[in-house]
Amino acid sequence: MTEGWLVWKLALLLYVFAAGAVAINLFLLGLLLQSIGLSAISPVTAVLAALPLGIPAAWAAGRWVRRLLDEAA
């Protein structure tokens, strides 16, 4: 077992930030899709869609931070 923070603990800590980033990106994507004639995504829809999509984003962020911590050691 590695010393320090485990990836799943980092992912759990970073989930709120990752899900928030996903929600913002989904909302802005919805605004961009208006330019080709599709309807916009509401902020509530973007947040609800970001709840499950935030899990892989948080896992990726946790792996990235773990790698940075390993490089710094």
Q: Is residue 16 part of a domain?
A: yes
Instruction: Please give the DSSP secondary-structure letter assigned to residue 4.
Output: S
Provide the residue range defining the domain that includes 62: 7-72
Residues of the chain with pLDDT under 70: 1-2
pLDDT of residue 1: 45
Q: Is residue 2 part of a domain?
A: no
Q: Is residue 1 part of a domain?
A: no
Q: Is residue 26 part of a domain?
A: yes
Domains identified in the chain, total number: 1
pTM, full prediction? 0.86
Q: Is residue 45 packed enough to be buried (19+ CB in 10 Å), middle (13-18) or exposed (0-12)?
A: middle
